[in-house]
């Protein structure tokens, strides 16, 4: 009869996780807060509590016995974070420094030894309000979540050996092009020595200007191409996947010729559909790789998509018009997510059932619950009657 063997790796200490987060935030993102009932450490605890419970700082101040009101937190945040465009850019630099600081030493040692696959994506958060200072704070697009207005953020992450750390974050202004966004992200990555093997970009970056910039800087890319127009639709023919050359914006000054990979996939009843799907990718400097392999390589970046779903699980909510406050909450969520990804490689339980093996990983929900309970233990929680009474008074 087979015996069950359980092997545990190093356990995760919630106190150490909180301490590491506070050290990184206080050293890299100085808010210069020194109030009578509020300092930087307490403010970060309130924001971490809000993020792990995906609620607002007002609700967190109501639930925690932290000795300060939500108005105090809001005033200190608005005083410490400028609403101007310059203030947002300065906060970007601080957040990117924090993202770089918290990367594992093992990853930093390998930067000069290998090239990494990277993913560039856009994160859109619906915004129901007016711009704080300038119209360029809010971008417009198709209706989503009941509005056509949104704050947009672009991120750069690695997709390599089950590692998907977020490396850079930037605020996307309405008056700038996506080429400027890509350039800003890659220059920040190159600044600390990242060497890119391939760049997997979101389909929102599919434009001739982005193609040209990446080719000019010798960055190999794989981008999905939205099927628009008769010329692209006519390429979806035949019984096999294939590779061809295609010119975008033909007969115009913006004409650009690149390689296209067309992948023929059977739906096989997925999502209740049958038949054939054609997936089109624009590629450059990827070598002699088969079309199906191009599709498999691009699928690796889907881990980044799941990472963005996890980002919203640890992102604090706010109704503030201050774009710097909103950027800070997105950056905090990325920092928490990076901590989770680093710990996930350490915390592991392996159960052996004879020849069968089951691996139990640390989940983001469990890590968030650990931080949530620790902060409640540090500050204490208001009684239900007190919470209800304060809510009625508000």
DSSP 72: H
Q: What's the pTM value of the predicted model, to 2 decimals?
A: 0.88
Does the pLDDT at position 358 exceed 70?
A: no
* SS3 call for 195: coil
pLDDT class for 244, splitting at 50, 70, 90? very high
pLDDT for residue 377: 92
Of 147-161, 268-282, 322-336, the range with the lowest mean pLDDT is: 268-282
Tens-place pLDDT, residues 268-296: 666 667 778 889 999 999 888 888 888 88
Based on the number of CB atoms within 10 Å of its own CB, is 237 exposed (0-12), middle (13-18) or buried (19 or more)? exposed
Q: How far apart are CA 56 and CA 46, in angstroms?
A: 9
Does the pLDDT at position 348 exceed 90?
A: no
Q: How far apart are CA 147 and CA 149, in angstroms?
A: 5
Q: How far apart are CA 13 and CA 18, in angstroms?
A: 9
Mean pLDDT over all residues of the chain? 85
Q: How far apart are CA 319 and CA 313, in angstroms?
A: 17
Sign, Cα dihedral of 61, 153, 218, 293? positive
Q: Higher confidence at residue 260 or residue 270?
A: 260
Report the length, in residues, of the chain: 394
Mean per-residue pLDDT, 306-333: 88
Q: How many other CB atoms sit within 10 Å of the CB of residue 9?
A: 12
The secondary structure element, H or E, covering residue 359 is: strand 356-361
Q: How far apart are CA 289 and CA 386, in angstroms?
A: 64
């Amino acid at each position: 009869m087979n015996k069950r063997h359980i092997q545990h790796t190093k356990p995760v200490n919630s106190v150490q996780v909180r301490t590491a987060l506070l050290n990184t935030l206080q050293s890299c993102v100085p808010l210069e807060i020194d109030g009578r009932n509020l300092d930087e450490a307490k403010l970060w605890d309130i924001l971490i509590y809000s993020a792990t419970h995906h609620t607002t700082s007002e609700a967190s101040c109501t639930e925690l016995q932290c000795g300060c009101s939500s108005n105090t937190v809001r005033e200190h945040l608005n005083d410490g974070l400028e609403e101007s465009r310059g203030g947002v850019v300065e906060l970007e630099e601080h957040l990117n420094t924090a993202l770089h600081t918290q990367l594992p030493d093992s990853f930093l040692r390998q930067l000069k030894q290998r090239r990494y696959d990277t993913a560039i994506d856009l994160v859109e958060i619906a915004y129901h309000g007016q711009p704080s200072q300038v119209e360029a704070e809010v971008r417009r697009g198709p209706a989503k979540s009941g509005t056509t207005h949104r704050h947009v953020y672009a991120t750069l992450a690695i997709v390599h050996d089950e590692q998907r750390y977020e490396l850079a974050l930037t605020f996307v202004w309405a008056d700038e092009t996506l080429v400027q966004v890509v350039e800003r992200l890659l220059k920040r990555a190159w600044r600390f020595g990242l060497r890119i093997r391939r760049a997997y970009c979101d389909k929102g970056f599919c434009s001739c200007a982005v193609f040209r910039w990446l080719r000019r800087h010798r960055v190999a890319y794989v981008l999905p191409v939205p099927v628009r127009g008769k010329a692209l639709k006519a390429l979806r023919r035949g019984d096999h996947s294939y590779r061809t050359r295609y010119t975008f914006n033909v007969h115009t000054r913006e004409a650009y010729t690149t390689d296209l990979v067309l992948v023929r996939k059977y739906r096989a009843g997925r999502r209740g559909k049958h038949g054939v799907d054609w997936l089109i990718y624009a590629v450059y400097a990827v070598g002699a790789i088969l079309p199906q392999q191009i599709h498999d390589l691009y699928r690796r970046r889907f881990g980044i998509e799941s990472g963005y779903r996890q980002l919203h699980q640890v992102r604090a909510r706010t109704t503030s018009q201050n774009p710097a406050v909103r950027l800070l909450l997105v950056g905090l969520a990325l920092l928490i997510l990076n901590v989770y990804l680093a710990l996930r490689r350490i915390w592991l339980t392996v159960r052996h059932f004879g020849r069968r093996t089951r691996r139990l990983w640390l989940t983001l929900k469990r890590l968030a619950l650990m931080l949530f309970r620790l902060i409640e233990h540090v500050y204490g929680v208001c009684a239900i009657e007190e919470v209800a009474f304060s809510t009625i008074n508000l």
